[in-house]
Structure 1
């Protein structure tokens, strides 16, 4: 169950990163509240997951989901470049996260 919480933490991290972009475009309290909500939920789910998962593994997977997910969101919704090198390195980050899960 803690792996589910860790994936939820990563998804909330992705949401928080997207809200940073929204806040830059739309300086409103609503955008700021969504940013705080996204990162707050992310830290909460990460803390729950770390009750049984090793800190290093949980943190590495959380940041991997957030970083690769943020890059994918940028490519899908914010017209960021979609070249093979970027996709390859995103896959490497995700592969490393899966590898950490397999050895944990």
Structure 2
């Protein structure tokens, strides 16, 4: 169950970054509301997950999911670079998150 909370925390982290993107694109009020709500919910979910998972694993997965999701959202919706080298590094994040999970 802790892993589901951790996935929810990662999803909230991604939504929070989308809120930051809205702020930087001039949609300040909705961006602040989205970012504040999502980051608060993400930290609450992370807290619940950390009751059963080691801190280093939980936080590593949380930030990895946030980075992965934010990168993919940026590529798909905001035209961020999808150069092969960048995708290789994103794949490295996925491998690291999987490694944290199986090393428990």
Tell me which interval the TM-score lies in, with the shorter structure as reference length: over 0.9
Counterpart of 1:25 in structure 2 is 25
Counterpart of 2:4 in structure 1 is 4
Counterpart of 2:53 in structure 1 is 53
TM-score of the pair, normalised by structure 2: 0.95
Q: C-alpha distance in 1, partners of 2:22/2:89? A: 25
Cα RMSD for the two superposed structures: 0.9
Return the offset for 1:24: 1.2
TM-score of the pair, normalised by structure 1: 0.95
Counterpart of 1:102 in structure 2 is 102
Counterpart of 1:39 in structure 2 is 39
Which runs of 4 or more aligned residues in structure 1 lie more than 4 Å from their structure 2 counterparts after TM superposition?
A: none
The answer on whether the counterparts of 2:9 and 2:46 sit within 8 Å (CA) in structure 1 is: yes
Uncovered stretches (5+) of structure 2, i.e. residues with no partner: none
Q: How many residues align?
A: 104
Uncovered stretches (5+) of structure 1, i.e. residues with no partner: none
Counterpart of 2:86 in structure 1 is 86
